Amino acid sequence: MANWDMQALMAKIETTYGTDSVPTGTVNAVLGQNVRYTPMEATEVKRQHARPFQGNRPSMLVGKQARITFEVEAKASGTAGTPPAYGVFLRCCKCAEVIVPTTSVTYNGISGNGDSCSIYFNVDGTLYKIIGARGTFQYKLNADGIVVIEFTMTGLFTLPVSQALPAVTYGSQMTEIPQVAVTENVPTFSIGAFAAAALRNFTFNKANEVKYRGLIGRRQIILPTCAEAVEFQIEAEPLATFNPFAIADSEAPQAISLVHGLGAGKVVTLTMPSVQILNPGDLANVDSVVETQLRGSVLPTGNGNNQFTLAFT
């Protein structure tokens, strides 16, 4: 009987798309949580022959894929200029990685597919491999909670094999304690010129379209489009202080900035220079206090590929 709690997640960038990069537990382990795994998804192609009796006809499976969804703690590596272990997944979600040694690591959205990776997921001695993986992610902050990034990665199916759980090295992923989302640890949240919002929750959705493309001679996961978006809920302010309805009505984009974490090598900054606030949601009654639910479309400006940056400093 396999024990679900005995897990190891590893990932490594591929040099050639769809060629197993062979991640290891000592170098490529990622400290994931709340893992959901779909070992195989495929399209059933049913045979259509005529015969003098009724009943099911056999099918063949094509377009075989595997999918894994998991969270990581959205924290920096603890050393400025060193990418977080989960940076491999950001690179495979239409993001470029820019490293300034001893200073920062910054991710920004790109046009095109970006990198791919091989993912190993070992559950108590059964190794599930996903090759040629690409995907999308959501950055999620809830007041008084641990900030997380949720990844959904899709890749080419391979048959599971029996393999002992590897030795893993998590390094700062384990030793760096996450800074929970409280006022002291979130020094900045601003919407345009308004920087005094009482924030309940915030989600940035990379919203990549993820598609399997299967041709003779080429099978791959592609990311043909993206539609970055934000959703957040704040305490309602007097309209003279902050009027989200007027902002939405004006259709004027707003810059949004969210800074989480304190200390060198521990700060995560999400910046979106141009967000169009769309239809505000229903007013919420929380503890008999009015809260406003807002959502926005994250827009490119100028030459594009600048909808957002996610910086670790």
Residue-wise pLDDT tens digits, 228-277:
999 999 999 999 999 999 999 999 999 999 999 999 999 999 999 999 99
Low-confidence ranges of the chain (pLDDT < 70): none
Please choose, from the candidates 66, 90, 87, the residue with its C-alpha nearest in 3D space to the C-alpha of residue 154: 66
Angle at 97 between CA 26 and CA 257, to 5 degrees: 115
Q: Please state, rounded to an integer, the average pLDDT across all residues of the chain.
A: 97
Q: Give the structural domain span for 233.
A: 7-41+62-312
pLDDT score of 122: 98
**92 in Cβ contact with 136 (< 8 Å):** no
pLDDT score of 285: 97
Query: CA 3, CA 22: separation in Å to the nearest integer?
Result: 24
Query: CA 63, CA 44: separation in Å to the nearest integer?
Result: 9
**Is residue 55 one of the residues assigned to a domain?**
no
**Is residue 150 one of the residues assigned to a domain?**
yes
Query: How many Å separate Cα 70 from the centre of its chain?
Result: 9
Structural domain count, the chain: 1
Q: Would you call 169 exposed, middle or buried from its count of C-beta atoms within 10 A (0-12, 13-18, 19+)?
A: middle
pLDDT score of 198: 97
**136 in Cβ contact with 245 (< 8 Å):** no
**Is residue 49 one of the residues assigned to a domain?**
no
What distances in angstroms separate CA 300 from CA 9, 108, 245, 274, 311, one per listed residue?
34, 11, 23, 7, 18
pLDDT score of 244: 96
pLDDT score of 176: 95
pLDDT score of 46: 94
**Is residue 282 one of the residues assigned to a domain?**
yes
pLDDT score of 139: 98
Query: CA 140, CA 307: separation in Å to the nearest integer?
Result: 18
**Is residue 26 one of the residues assigned to a domain?**
yes
pLDDT score of 156: 98
Residue 242's φ and ψ, nearest 5 degrees, are -155, 120
Residue 28's φ and ψ, nearest 5 degrees, are -120, 20
**Is residue 85 one of the residues assigned to a domain?**
yes
pLDDT score of 77: 96
**Is residue 92 one of the residues assigned to a domain?**
yes
**Is residue 248 one of the residues assigned to a domain?**
yes
pLDDT score of 260: 98
